[in-house]
Amino acid sequence: MGKLTKNQKLAAQKIEAGKAYSLKEAAQLVKEITFTKFDASLDIDVRLGVDPRKANQMVRGVVSLPHGTGKQVRVLVLCTPDMETAAKEAGADYVGLDEYIEKIKGGWTDVDVIITMPSIMGKIGALGRVLGPRGLMPNPKSGTVTMDVAKAVKEVKQGKIDFKVDKTGIVHTSIGKVSFTPEQICGNAKEFIATILKLKPSAAKGTYIKSIYLSSTMSKGIKVDPKTVDEI
């Protein structure tokens, strides 16, 4: 292992190896061990006692974070002309149809979320090769294929995120920025974990939430005691 920088040493001193912190402590600590010059993303990793290879143990859902994500989310709406004005008024960054489908076919994916309508999914199917690997394919389960595109745009802009468990049984997502207050971090983390609890598959046996880690883009992970999530 290379030499630790001064900041890394400071961070290492603050975290006790093997200790599980309360959510409140972790929310404060993650701010203290982040020394990036930019406003780092705040990530949460929740390890679940599920076997994601089995369809009846897949955990996937959406959550509206009460304090938003802190990110500027770029939204593309692919819709019929009669819905364009409503989508623009709701705050969509890009609105259109055929021109954007052609751009995406050419490799353009300069957006974070794509929202569309059921009647247009036939046209979008051909874009799966480009959008699928980037996690941009619209999906009715995550609310990005809908008749009410304006409502979906507003929700995404206000901090609605979708997530799913990966093949190792971990749900990883960003729940804010390091500049958030500890209270905001706690609020978003609680909402996210509460949503995961609601989605517990009936086929999952044993401990459902095995571990929770909070970290920022460049920091070490801080272990959170799952029992402390409900504490104020």
| Domain CATH for 55 | 3.30.190.20
Residue 189 lies in a domain: yes
Same domain, 90 and 135: yes
Whole-angstrom distance, CA of residue 195 vs CA of residue 99: 37
pLDDT of residue 2: 55
What are the start-end ranges of the E strands in the chain? 41-48, 60-64, 75-78, 94-96, 113-116, 160-164, 170-177, 209-216, 222-224
Same domain, 85 and 59: no
Q: Which of 123, 157, 191 is the last residue of a domain?
A: 157
Same domain, 143 and 192: no
Average the pLDDT over 15-19 and give the result.
83
Same domain, 200 and 85: no
Q: How confident is the model at residue 232 (pLDDT cuts 50, 70, 90)?
A: very low
Same domain, 166 and 151: no
Q: Where in the sequence is the domain holding 94, given as residue range(s)?
A: 75-157
Structure tokens given for 211: 């571990």
Residue 12 lies in a domain: no
Backbone angles phi, psi at 114, to 5 degrees: -120, 130
Same domain, 86 and 142: yes
pLDDT digits (tens, 9 = 90+) for 96-123: 999 999 999 999 999 999 999 999 999 9
Whether the per-residue pLDDT at 51 is higher than 80: the answer is yes
Nearest to 186 by CA among 22, 55, 57: 22
- Least reliable range by pLDDT among 42-46, 181-185, 217-221: 217-221
Q: Which of 157, 183, 198 is the last residue of a domain?
A: 157
Residue 13 lies in a domain: no
Number of domains in the chain: 2
Nearest to 209 by CA among 223, 197, 222, 195: 197
Residue 123 lies in a domain: yes
Structure tokens given for 206: 């044993």
Same domain, 152 and 82: yes
Same domain, 139 and 104: yes
Whether the per-residue pLDDT at 1 is higher than 50: the answer is no
Q: Which of 105, 135, 157 is the last residue of a domain?
A: 157
The CATH number of the domain holding residue 90 is 3.40.50.790
Average the pLDDT over 172-186 and give the result.
95
DSSP 122-190: HHHGGGHHHHGGGT----GGGT-B-S-HHHHHHHHHTTEEEEE--TTSEEEEEEEETTS-HHHHHHHHH
